[in-house]
Structures are given as structure tokens and as C-alpha cells.
Chains A and B, each alone.
Chain A
Amino acid sequence: MSGPAHPVDDLAAHAVGALTADEAGSVEAHIARCGVCRAAFADHLATLAALTGDSPPPDGLWHRIEARLDSTAGSTLAPPPVPLLPPAAAPARRADAPAPPVGWDGSARRPGAAAPPVDGGAPARWSRRRGRRGGRAWPAARLAAAAVLVVAVGATLARLAAPDGTPTVAEGAESALEDPDATVTRLDDPASGAPAARFVVTPEGDAYVMLDDLAPLPAERTYQLWRTETTTPISLGVLGPGRARAAEVHVPPGRARLVISQEPAGGSPAPTGPLVAAGTVG
């Protein structure tokens, strides 16, 4: 039995979820071979998604999602990514819009839908870690007893030792320090000027902080890395209490003022504790 060339009513009914499974299957089969209806269907879904807009999820939802992703260990006390509100929109028309979206670091952010696509070929900078496998980074991060980097703007999950032989942070840091083309920057105690830590980055973009003269902290405290050349400090992640003497970090390319502060375990949204090391990189 043949139907209309473009089953527009069924398309709309399917978009709102009002078809039975069989009927939906028929529409999906049509969508798979019809670009016109595929586009129309995408438009319907976009329209429907706009009806409910955005609302702040409950605190802790992200932690609970994290916890479900990996069953081997509890979630780290990581500052969660703060969801953006509202979606990108023509600002002039949004008279009823809530305040502009704010990212974790307090700076204005725009969600991916409005972000410029990565142009041309490669992203700004990435590297293949020596010997790193292309597996899930998530479980590896859970095995941390040592330095853990929280998921915060400008930071990434720690690439820590996994039982499968992926290089440890310590090994990666050692390689970086041995790399003649790597750049090492001293981070000194702001008060005394004495050396406190080092920041090392290889040409491939692997970067580490060596906690040389920063003493290990009690378990309820941690070191946290920030960039501060902007007006609001941006967290680059938690470095841990310092039992591990190296932490992997990701610092965006370009000039950056880096400082290390002492914070409560899990980190803080803004520096609260003493600044123990500072330097300028890039």
C-alpha cells in the first residue's frame, strides 16, 4: 500500500511521540531515505525542544550521573559542570530571558549550538600520549589515590595509572621533563620568591605541574591550579593533597598567569586559601 510521497502528518505525530512502535518504524524507514522529511523531522524536534527551554538541574545530579558511569569507586568530590541557561538566542528579542549563561568560572559562556564549528582540519592542539590507548578515560580516573584533576572549565579528568599499563602521570611528567624541547616554568612562592613548583609543557601540548616544594596537605585539603590573567580566576583543576608529586593539567594555549592555592578537598569555585605558587607561562 502506498501513501503520500511525504507523510507529513505521520511525521508530525512521530515527532511528538504519538505513534505506536510499528507506525513509528514505518516513519523512520521513510526518514532514512528521504532528505526532505529528515529535515522536516529535525525541525519538529527542534521546535519541541524549545518548548521546555532550560531549567537548572538539582545540585548533585551530575555527581549521581558520574557515580553511575563507573561502578568501581565512588565519585570524586569534583565541582560539577554548571549547566548553561538559557540556550543561545537572539538577545535583542529575549525580553523575558533569564540572566546570561555563566560557566563554571563565572565568565559568560555560550553553548555549543552557537559556538563556531572547529574550522578546517585539526583542533587547536592535541597530542597522542605516548603509549596511551584509546579507551575510556573515565574508569581510569576513578583509580586515583594520587593527584586527581576535577572536571572544571579549563581542566580535564586526570590521566592516571590504569591497570592496563597506560603511562602514569608520574611517567608522563618524567618524560616531559626529559624532553629537551619542553618548556619548564618556575612557579614561586608569592611571598618569599622561593621556588615552590614547576610547570612543564611539551611541544605536543602535554603539560604537568610538579609540586616540588609544596608539602603534602592533610586529606581534607587540596592544591588547586588557577589562571588569573583575566579578572576572574579560572580553575584549571584540583591537584590533590600532594601525595603524588606530579599532576597532569591542561592549560589553553597562549599566555597565562598560573597560581596554586590551598583549598578544601574537592576544590572551590574561587580561590579561598593561601596562594602558594605563581608564575607566568606562554
Chain B
Amino acid sequence: MSVSVQEQDFDQGLEYQSLVKDNLSDGAVVVFVGLVRDFNQGSEVTGLHIEHYPQMTEKCLTDIVQQAKQKWPLGRVRVVHRYGTLTLGEQIVYVGVTSAHRKAAFAGAEFIMDYLKTQAPFWKKETTKTGQHWVAAKQSDKKAADKW
């Protein structure tokens, strides 16, 4: 399954292996991992809760991957996005892309992340020393998606 939406953590090593195992045609592998940061939008974050729209997330991520495959000659694509309660430094999202050559792999991975950040129905609620608050969407994310 090239897209997974799950509570549990993912293993980068295992994900990488499934991208390259028996994949003799692709010479390029690009991987992106998003982590929970300790300083976001001015607050000191101690933890994070990610809400999602269960029936829509997998459908949306699968559609984004399909769009990327139509735009570039990509080989294997793997996207994992977590939900639920996460702590500082934990992994949130994994995007792995293979291609014969690096240009398509880099572009495909960036496209998937830019679209995921503006279209996939996840919402982050941060816990800080002063309380909990919902993270606001960023204009820079919208601009990044629009450029494709």
C-alpha cells in the first residue's frame, strides 16, 4: 500500500528497504521526514495532537501521489502520515520517492509535501507551557502549493 495513515510510528529503515528492494531501474531515492519541533510559530511546544478526517485522508494522499506520478516519471512512492498524540522530536510524516534520475525524484517529493500541507485533512493542536492551541495554516505553504 503506497499510502498509510496511522497512529503508530514508522521505521525509516524498513520504508527505505521497500523502496529499493528489487528496484533495479531506479537510481535515485529521495526521502523526506517531518518531525515535531520544539519551537513553532512563537511558542514552546511540549507535545502535539493531530486530528484527521479518517474517511478522507487516505483518499486525498492517494490522489496527491497519483498526480505526482502523472507529472513526473516516478518509480515507487510511499507516504506515511501519523495522527494522534505525539511528543517532541517524534516523526510525523514520511515521503519516499524513487525515479531513474534525481530531478524527478526531488520534484516529486517536494510536490507531494507541498500538496499534502494544503490539502490533506489533518489539523495540529500544540501543547505548550501556556496551554493548548490549534496551529494556524501558513501563507507560505499555500504559495508553495500554488507554484506547481
Asked if A pairs with B, the answer is no
